[in-house]
Structure 1
Amino acid sequence: MDNPDPTKFQNNPIVTLNVGLDKHTFHVHQALLFEYSPVFKAAFSGKCRESSERCMALPEDDPETVERFMQWLYFKSIGLTKGVSPETWDECSLQLARLNTLADKFDVGLLKNSIIDELFALAKIAAWLPETPVIAYIYENTTETSSLRKLIVEWHVWQIDYDWYTHSDTRADLKTMPAFVADLAIAMSRRVQDPSLESPFHSDPSSYYEDRSTTSGD
């Protein structure tokens, strides 16, 4: 991925984000923030304190997740804490879920597209499933129309075998997530009813994009 054109930021103001209760400080070019987030653009363009001080407090947000957002803004890549492996998979998938929550909050549609791309890439190389805490987090922090919800459900429909459902731990976990179970049942029924359906992971991830104004890599 090409680095951003440095001339784009000449004479462009810097705004400050104070993140978390400890106020971790992030400085970002205003033009870049405005380009991808209408929420930030509205906050810094109005007559409120954020606009005059060029500073915004985000006490409820996670500095580590905001740092990933900054990396994506400037380089269009998502840096996970560790390389993806069976040992780190739960942590990495939760990091992506938290980043999706941030993208939802600030209406950064192209970042959500990039997260879908990342999950598609992981699904092609990994047999691991998002574990219960990750699924629970996603369902607690997304709406019913969320593409991330849909993708996680499809992952369970197409990427695992029947044995997974027979485990006692699996049954116990599913009882705690009725909304996920309902979505899973519908998706399973659709697959049984139409044998011609193919795994979505063999196709283009753009069908899961919520922002279709452009592709996430543009």
Structure 2
Amino acid sequence: MATPAKRNHLTYLFEASPFFKAAFTSDFRENPERTMTLPEDDETIFELFVDWLYHQRYDVPSTPNDPETPCDRFMQPVQLFVLADKYGVRNLKNVIVSQIHSVVKMSSDVPKEATIAYAYEHTSQNSTIRKVLADMMACYVGRNWFERAVNQTWLRDHHDISMDVMVRLAERAEDAYGGPFYRGVPEEYVEEEEESEE
């Protein structure tokens, strides 16, 4: 029989995750310890999940966790989102998306390419984190970024990201004054007459 402390832990877990509820109520009848090993999950990220279970709060780090690593402040929340997505923890996913949105709204910070690629590699096509990341790129990544050869190569290598960003850019163009086809002909569409040499 589970102690009150264990029962309390499991209650939080079961309320948050249908995966864990199903796993602990069906597959673990033969496991009197009622334990589960999750070797593929990052321990630090799982600890953040457990912390969220008890406090129902998560804040995006103000700076990268380790200044020596080439990741950014968004890698940790994206990793936590992926873990929450894996175990069906919808409320945590919504908290993370909301926190990322708030940070971006206040700072215009954009995740690095490695963070975006990680999210796309570990989530499904309709994932909300993909929508947020694509919107971040469409809104806050400047034209110069898209013109750099290294970034063009990255976008070609990550066609799913490219497509999402193009859709988001198209939506922004539609929203901005109805797009270029609801006004007069934009100057950039008109070729200037070449000066003749006489």
Q: TM-score range by the shorter chain?
A: 0.7 to 0.9
Q: 1:79 to 1:51 in 2, by over 3 A?
A: farther
- Name the structure 2 match of 1:44: 24
Structure 1 stretches of 4+ moved >6 Å: none
Matched, 1:60 2:40: yes
2:73 to 92, 97, 101: 92
Q: How many residues end up aligned between the 2 structures?
A: 173
Aligned positions of 1:104-119 closer than 5 A = 104-119=85-100
**Which string of whole-angstrom CA distances, capped at 9 and with x for unpartnered residues, describes residues 121-175 of structure 1?**
1102223311111111111001111010011001111123322212233222212
Partner of 2:101: 120
Pairwise CA RMSD: 2.4
Aligned-pair CA distance for 1:13: 4.6
| Segment of structure 1 superposing worse, 104-113 or 174-183 | 174-183
Structure 1 distance, partners of 2:106, 2:71, is 15
1:78 alignment partner, one of 58, 69, 73? 58
Q: More strand per residue: 1 or 2?
A: 1
1:177 is aligned to 2:169: no
Letter paired with 1:83: S
> For residues 31-82 of structure 1, what are the alpha-carbon distances to aligned partners after superposition, in whole Å with 9 as ceiling and x for unaligned?
11111111111111115357532111111111000010011111122256x5
The 8 Å contact of residues 153 and 183 in structure 1, kept in 2 or not, is answered as yes
**1:135 and 1:93 mapped to 2: Cα distance?**
9
Distance 1:76 1:48 in 2: 27
CA pair 125-173 structure 1, distance change in 2 beyond 3 A: same
CA distance in 2, matches of 1:125, 1:132: 21
Q: Which amino acid aligns with 1:46?
A: S
TM-score, structure 2 length as denominator? Answer: 0.78
Confirm or deny: 8 A CA contact 1:153 1:184 kept in the other structure: yes
More helix by share: 2
SS at structure 1 position matched to 2:36 = strand
Q: Which has the larger radius of gyration?
A: 2
Output the CA distance in 1 between the equivalents of 2:134 and 2:16: 28
Asked if 1:191 corresponds to 2:183, the answer is no
Identity %, equivalent residues: 31
* Greater relative CO, 1 or 2 (CA 8 Å, sep 6+): 1
TM-superposition CA deviations, 1:182-201 (whole Å, max 9, x none): 1111221222233258xxxx
**Which residue identity is paired with 2:142?**
D
Distance change in 2, residues 1:50/1:127 (3 Å)? farther
| Structure-to-structure mapping, 1:21-32, within 5 angstroms | 29-32=9-12
Q: Aligned partners of 1:196 and 1:77: how far apart in 2?
A: 39
Q: Tell me the amino acid that sits aligned with residue 143 of structure 1.
A: S
Q: Show structure 2 runs of 5+ residues with no match.
A: 179-198
Asked if the contact 1:100/1:115 (under 8 Å) is kept, the reply is: yes
